[in-house]
């Protein structure tokens, strides 16, 4: 009888664990999705997607930070003469994020820059964004900033 009860309890625990894992994953993905959407909404509402102009330059799966929210490998970044185009990866588009095209005139370099040369901090519509340094070189060129080239391939 004791062996039977132990095997039943063991089986129940296995099923309980197998049932809780998907629930925990769904809760985690929901929380992350809500946080990313809340950080992205001001940009998405202010800057609708615009058509690409030739020539343009694209890098996929780039990392951006919106304030305290880090979106690693979540955006495709495309540069042209008029805009910085940010396109969410497919998973983020599935939860409601839409592409945005930010005019270069709306992007200001932040006075406080992160350590290192791979990322730059900018301000767009009073929201702080940390973006790869390579994509902000056009902003530096348009503003006439002749500082050392901070792009590093990534």
**Omega into 50 within 30° of 0, i.e. cis?**
no
Bigger pLDDT: 63 or 148?
63
CB contact at 8 A, 134 and 151? yes
pLDDT of residue 98: 96
Round the CA-based radius of gyration of the chain to a whole number and report it: 22
CA distance to 55, 123, 130, 135, per residue, from 62 (Å): 20, 18, 11, 10
The Cα–Cα gap between 36 and 12 comes to 36
Query: pLDDT tens digit string along 29-69?
Result: 899 889 999 999 999 999 999 999 999 999 999 999 998 89
Per-residue pLDDT, 144: 62
């Amino acid at each position: 009888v004791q062996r039977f009860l132990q095997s039943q309890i063991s089986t129940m625990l296995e099923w309980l664990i197998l049932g809780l894992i998907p629930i925990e994953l769904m809760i985690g993905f929901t929380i992350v999705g809500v946080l990313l959407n809340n950080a992205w909404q001001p940009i998405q509402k202010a800057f609708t997607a615009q058509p690409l102009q030739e020539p343009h330059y694209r890098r996929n799966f780039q990392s951006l930070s919106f304030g305290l929210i880090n979106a690693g490998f979540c955006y495709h970044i495309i540069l042209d003469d008029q805009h910085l185009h940010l396109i969410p990866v497919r998973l983020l588009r599935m939860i409601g994020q839409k592409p945005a095209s930010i005019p270069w005139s709306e992007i200001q370099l932040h006075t406080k820059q992160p350590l290192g040369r791979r990322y730059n901090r900018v301000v767009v519509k009073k929201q702080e964004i940390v973006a790869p340094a390579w994509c902000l070189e056009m902003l530096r060129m348009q503003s006439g900033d002749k500082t050392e080239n901070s792009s590093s391939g990534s």
